[in-house]
């Protein structure tokens, strides 16, 4: 099969085409012919080796973290899918590799593709939609009438998180550049802070939940807008010991992660706020819960650009250079 892979870590690592044998399947796996794959900042972090201490991938490594395609074969223990089913998925963190023609994925990580979407649209969703769901529904348990701030509302996670928060009944604020204000309002944002003209920390007050997708100063300043008892969830800030436990990390690594997040956790505690780091996990069940919202048009994908599969390295460079105007970048195999 055709793939795009790296043979070493580093920000100058070469993502190049390679022919590899078709994937081997387990009894619980479905083999999917990939029609489209999402391109994510996570792909860049994995390429750079940012997670090599905690996610020990074996090199050479096929990149790519979400997909849409068609089931071509099922393992003997598979009960949820049949050959010919159109599906979408975020493979488990230890079985990535969607920049390829084929992938074997556990049936637990797969869901039937929303009938209303193209393959490219569906491929743009799994990673960012699961991130939004696990942050807002599972962890923050957002309720009707709560106030939620979502940073970088025009980004891949932001565009979906705004729509999901509105479906949960929240009052939603977001940050965006001047050019993206109209887009995030169309997605449902009640308040838009143009970060080029205003400091969100001086404008917003008494928020129940903040979803941080930026890290750095945005993460620290977010504490100023959260009321006591509120929740700060970051996908870009320092990891914590709870994340290390989820990974099954050893005691030394748990201690190291706890130290990395010590400063932000202390600051959060002083303000009566709970801080947690989120590294989303694959879940076909959660995708199935999202699918009715997608098919009803209550959550719609935002696709910035679709590249042909042969231009996967250019698609990754496009994301790395920050050229995407809004939403997700996708590569299409057909």
Q: What is the pLDDT of residue 306?
A: 98
Distance CA 66, CA 326 (A): 18
**pLDDT tops 90 at residue 12:** no
Is 211 found in the same domain as 186? yes
- Based on the fold, state whether residues 268 and 143 are members of the same structural domain: yes
Checking if the pLDDT of 250 tops 80, the result is no
**CA nearest neighbour of 60 among 12, 99, 8, 4:** 8
Mean pLDDT of the chain: 95
92 and 135 in a single domain? The answer is: no
Write down the pLDDT at residue 266: 96
CATH number at residue 8: 3.90.180.10
CA angle at 114 for the pair 112 and 115, rounded to the nearest 5° = 105
Residue 173 in domain: yes
- Total domains in the chain come to 2
- Phi, psi (deg, nearest 5) at residue 70: -125, 135
CB 222 within 8 A of CB 215: no
pLDDT of residue 240: 84
Mean pLDDT calculated for residue range 227-246: 90
Would you say residue 175 lies in a domain?
A: yes
* Angle, vertex CA 318, rays to CA 188 and CA 49, nearest 5: 100
pLDDT at 248 over 80: no
Same domain? 26 vs 59: yes
For range 83-89, the mean pLDDT: 98
Assigned domain for 32 exists: yes
Between these two residues, 244 and 323, which has the higher pLDDT value?
323
Same domain, 156 and 264: yes
Is residue 105 scored above 90 in pLDDT?
A: yes
Same domain, 109 and 141: no
Residue 228: inside a domain: yes
To the nearest whole percent, how much of the chain has pLDDT over 70? 100
**pLDDT tens digit string along 143-171?**
999 999 999 999 999 999 999 999 999 99
Quick one: which H or E segment has residue 180?
A: none
Q: Is residue 288 part of a domain?
A: no
> Residues 30, 117: one domain?
yes
Residue 93 falls inside a structural domain: yes
How far CA 5 is from CA of 58, 99, 104, 106, 110, in Å, comes to 12, 8, 16, 21, 23
What pLDDT does residue 218 have?
A: 96
Residues 302-315 have pLDDT tens digits of 999 999 999 999 99
pLDDT greater at residue 325 or residue 127: 127
259 and 307: one domain? Answer: no
- In-domain check, residue 284: no
Co-location of 181 and 63 in the same domain = no
**Predicted pLDDT of residue 56:** 76
244 shares its domain with 326: no
Q: Are residues 57 and 108 in the same domain?
A: yes
Residue-wise pLDDT tens digits, 169-214:
999 999 999 999 999 999 999 999 999 999 999 999 999 999 999 9
Instruction: Report the pLDDT averaged over residues 276-304.
Output: 97
pLDDT digits (tens, 9 = 90+) for 14-38: 999 999 999 999 999 999 999 999 9
Question: Could you tell me how many residues make up the chain?
Answer: 334
CATH number of the structural domain spanning residue 188: 3.40.50.720
Say yes or no: 67 and 152 in one domain: no
Q: Quote the domain boundaries for residue 13.
A: 2-124+301-332
């Amino acid at each position: 099969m055709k793939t795009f892979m790296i043979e070493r870590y580093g920000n100058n690592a070469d993502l190049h085409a390679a022919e590899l044998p078709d994937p081997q399947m387990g009894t619980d796996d479905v083999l999917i012919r990939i029609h489209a794959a999402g391109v994510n900042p996570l792909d860049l972090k994995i390429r750079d080796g940012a997670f090599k201490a905690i996610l020990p991938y074996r090199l050479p490594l096929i990149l790519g973290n979400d997909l849409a395609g068609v089931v071509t074969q099922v393992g003997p223990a598979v009960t949820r899918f049949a050959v010919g089913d159109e599906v979408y998925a975020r493979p488990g963190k230890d079985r990535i590799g969607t920049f390829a023609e084929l992938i074997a994925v556990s049936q637990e990580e797969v869901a039937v593709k929303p009938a209303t979407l193209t393959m490219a649209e569906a491929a743009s969703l799994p990673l960012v939609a699961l991130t939004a769901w696990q942050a807002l529904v599972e962890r923050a348990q957002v309720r009707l009438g709560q106030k939620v701030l979502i940073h970088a509302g025009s980004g891949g996670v932001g565009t979906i998180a705004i729509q999901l928060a509105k479906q949960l009944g929240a009052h939603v604020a977001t940050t965006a550049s001047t050019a993206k204000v109209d887009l995030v309002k169309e997605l449902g944002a009640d308040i838009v802070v143009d970060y080029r003209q205003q400091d969100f920390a001086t404008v917003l007050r008494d928020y129940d939940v903040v979803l941080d997708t930026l890290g750095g100063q945005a993460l620290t300043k977010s504490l100023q807008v959260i009321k006591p008892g509120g929740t700060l969830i970051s996908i870009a800030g320092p990891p914590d010991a709870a994340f290390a436990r989820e990974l099954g990390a050893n005691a030394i690594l748990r201690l190291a992660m706890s130290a990395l997040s010590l400063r932000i956790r202390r600051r959060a505690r002083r303000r009566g706020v709970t801080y947690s780091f989120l590294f989303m996990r694959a879940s076909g069940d959660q995708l199935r819960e999202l699918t009715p919202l997608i098919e009803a048009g209550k959550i719609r994908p935002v696709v910035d650009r679709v590249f042909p599969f042969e231009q996967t390295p250019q698609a990754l460079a496009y994301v790395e250079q920050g050229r995407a105007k809004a939403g997700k970048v996708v590569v299409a195999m057909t």
